[in-house]
Amino acid sequence: MKNKTQKRIGLLTSGGDSSGMNACIRAVVRTAVFQGHRIYGIYKGYQGLLDNLIKEMSPRNVGGIINTGGTILQTSRCKEFFTASGRKRAFENMKQHGINALIVIGGDGSFHGLHKMIKEFRIQGIGLPGTIDNDLYGTDFTIGFDTAINTAMEAIDKIRDTATSHSRLFIVEVMGRDSGYLAQYCGIAGGAEDILIPEKKDDIRKIAQKLEAGFHKGKKSSILVVSEGDETGNAFEIKEQIRKLVDWEIRVSILGHIQRGGSPSAVDRFLATRMGFESVIAVNEGRTDKMVGIVNNQIKLTPLEQTWTRKKKIDLAFYKMIDALSI
Ligand code: F6P
């Protein structure tokens, strides 16, 4: 046994799933057992904590999952957990299993819930950033982001084939909630003519002029990537605005939930494994109310509250690059 104080750690995934969550679960379970703790899988996120869907896990339960998408623990968006009575019930179930620490893989909504549990019941809690949106302060990248941008990029590549065959403009809508990271990365990697994100006000007239100029300069296709949270509107609304200003025939493609699934990339498996391991080390060290992140390739623990009160800023300087490359 590597650690003097044995703990009973509960592990759950919460909110939207992301590729790499399973690799993270594997790392947490095996590190916890290696360190002499007992580890309990909580199924279906916070809903499972309320419904007592809790089972002790062993290293063998997490074999053959490092390469799989989704989450073997399943997940949910649980409204009841945001009520005081719901959290009380959750705590009673934790007590029944002797669980004194929680590790939660999810986004800022999930961390809100964990923060409340820590404050109300003095449990130990550590968050791990699992979301395709990459919108969490305190880490350069979140688990699932790399796989999602690769999936979106591959979809854009395929769309460009048909767009070029038909000389069409495609408006491709990607996920990301209120954050433009996903759009920024897959848009640049997919060679998009422009990228519309919530962090930047769109000038539809200017975009249309650029697209129209491209058409007259002999471009065979054009791609606009739109983040789902963009303030100008969704892909269909943007299509209506642009349609009046350009000669291109336009089609819309909404990539949707395919961005959340699939076998995780090597980068996501590595990130998930490293963060999962470090979350157990944080528990060993008595750390609580923190998210494990990686900043400049160094492990960093950030107070959970900062992950939603502070904003990870997107660097808008990349638009200069898009202007240069989309001529
Ligand atoms: O937060 C991850 C995410 O995939 C967002 O990009 C998207 O807005 C949302 O979840 C979709 O949620 P749901 O699967 O509940 O529709």
Task: For the chain of 327 residues, list the mean pLDDT of each consecutive stretch of 10.
Answer: 82 98 98 98 98 98 98 96 95 98 97 97 98 98 98 98 98 98 98 98 96 95 98 97 95 98 98 98 98 98 97 94 94
Note the pLDDT of residue 68.
Answer: 98
- The CB of 21 under 6 Å from ligand 1? The reply is no
Which residue's CA is minimally distant from atom 8 of ligand 1? 177
Q: Which atom of ligand 1 is nearest to the CA of 135?
A: 1
Q: Where are the alpha helices (DSSP H) in the chain?
A: 21-34, 45-50, 84-96, 108-121, 145-166, 181-189, 204-216, 235-243, 266-284, 306-309, 318-325
> Residue 13's pLDDT is what?
98
Tell which one of 74, 175, 226 to mutate to probe ligand 1, the residue whose CB is within 8 A of the most ligand atoms: 175
The rounded Å distance from CA 254 to ligand 1 centre is 13
Catalytic residue of the set 108, 133, 146, 194: 133
Instruction: Note the pLDDT of residue 3.
Output: 65
* Distance from C-alpha of 188 to C-alpha of 191, rounded to nearest angstrom: 5
Answer yes or no: 133 catalytic.
yes
Query: Among candidates 280, 277, 289, 301, which has minimal Cα distance to 24?
Result: 277
Check if 182 has its Cβ closer than 6 Å to any atom of ligand 1: no
Q: Calculate how far, in angstroms, residue 133's C-alpha sits from the geometric centre of ligand 1.
A: 8
* Orientation angle between helical segments 266-284 and 145-166, nearest 10 degrees: 160
Task: Give the per-residue pLDDT at 5.
Answer: 87
- Ligand 1 centroid, distance to 177 Cα (angstroms): 7
Please work out whether the CB of residue 133 comes within 6 Å of at least one atom of ligand 1.
yes
pTM above 0.85, yes or no: yes
Can you give the pLDDT at residue 167? Answer: 97
Q: Within its chain, how far is the Cα of 282 from the centroid?
A: 22
Protein residue with least CA distance to atom 10, ligand 1? 16
Contact 132, 144 (CB under 8 A): yes
Domains of the chain: 8-144+264-309 (3.40.50.450), 145-260 (3.40.50.460)
